Amino acid sequence: MAAASEAMNEFGLEVLRALRRDKLPPLPEYFELYFNEILLTKPQDLRKEAVELSKYGYASDPSFQIVNLETKLKEHSRAIKEILNSLGNVHKQFNRSFQVFNKYVTDASNLTSPSAAQNLTLMLKNDVSGLVNFINTQTDSFKTIYQKSTDILKTVEEESIFDLVYGVFNKKYLLAQIIHEQMRIQHLGHASTLIIIKPSKSLDISSEKTQLIVNKTIAKILMKNARKSDIVSFLGNSTFAILLRHKDIQNASKACERYYEVLLGSNFFIGDKEIELKVHSGISTIEHSVSIEELLDKTIEKMEQADENDLPFCTGA
């Protein structure tokens, strides 16, 4: 376990004293600013230890991923604009060609000699050929831009970290965070837990619309009551998961009890039918030696046990 040295612990207190001296609140952003500034004045060994420990720290938020996705969406927007511009050029070219062809029709009605008709036919052929070449060029451009746009959207989908329907993180992001948490647990030795929550089987959910409303309500309440450091995500099949960093089973149980009570008091009506928002949860300790698949399976099993026994949650054995 990579525990912090006494010198590092004293350094942390020094940072806090500096914040207090300058009458700044001990907020994460201020602490990080002073931490990095004061660290530059410290011996090489302490700086090296800080760098090593920082490998197991947390990013304050996923902004770097959001910025990356926004950049790709802007590229997609530019691609759409290119397509619209090309369509505008095609429209203009057709209008010009239509006017030219009308002129050919007018000129043809006034022709009196075969040679003049032949020349007019040749000119018309050349103009039609030019129009066909222009359309072929634009078609190739459309294909290229469309493929680029499709590739960008595919990348955005692959790199997305949010479930846009429910406004929580998606399963892929949760699994990545669990892997990182397992690494931190292995080196730092703290306790973290995983909670899986699902509406009770006793709920009378007879339509997709009702299911959507139930899921959205659960997502909203979970996000409202979760800590900033918790990772709330949607796993699919009306199932939600919460990664609780630095929370043991006892504290996770208290969180589940709170979620259960808050959700139970959030009944709503769909038409004349009242929906009692009841959920059940399973809780597991995250261990670095247990695979993600095994962790999810055993936590889901505990959640199902809680549902079968009509319990708010189950920690299992």
DSSP 300-313: HHHHHHHHHTT-SE
Location of structure tokens 């989908």:
157
Q: Is the pLDDT of residue 198 over 90?
A: yes
Mean pLDDT (whole number) for 15-28: 87
Which residue stretches of 110-170 are H helix? 114-159
Segment 247-267 shows an average pLDDT of 89
Burial state string for 40-63 with b = 16 or more CB within 10 A and e = fewer than 16: eeeeeebeebbeebeebeeeeebe
How many helices and strands, by DSSP H and E, does the chain display?
A: 9, 9
Residue 75 has pLDDT above 90, yes or no: no
How many alpha carbons fall within 13 Å on the CB side of residue 23?
Answer: 0
Lowest mean pLDDT among 67-71, 148-152, 295-299, 302-306: 67-71
Q: How far apart are CA 98 and CA 84, in angstroms?
A: 21
User: Residue 57, SS3?
Assistant: coil
Chain segment 224-254, per-residue pLDDT in tens: 888 888 999 999 999 999 999 888 999 999 9
CB contact at 8 A, 244 and 174: no
Whole-number percent of the chain with pLDDT over 70: 87
pLDDT at 69: 62
The pTM (predicted TM-score) of the whole model is 0.65
pLDDT at residue 264 is higher than 70: yes
Write the CB contacts of 80 (distance below 8 Å, at least 6 apart in sequence): 149
Reported as type and span, the H/E element at residue 260 is helix 249-264
DSSP codes joined into one string, 175-200 = HHHHHHHHHHHHHH----EEEEEEE-
Give residue-wise pLDDT tens across range 1-13: 456 788 989 999 9
The whole-chain average pLDDT of the chain stands at 83
Give the pLDDT score at 1. 45
For range 256-279, the mean pLDDT: 84
Spatial CA neighbour of 34 closest among 61, 55, 12: 12
19-28, 193-202, 277-286, 297-306: which has the minimum mean pLDDT?
19-28
Contact between 235 and 171 (Cβ < 8 Å):
yes
Is residue 2 within 8 A of residue 55, CB to CB? The reply is no
DSSP lists the bridge partners of residue 233 as 169, 241
Residue with token string 């052929």: 125
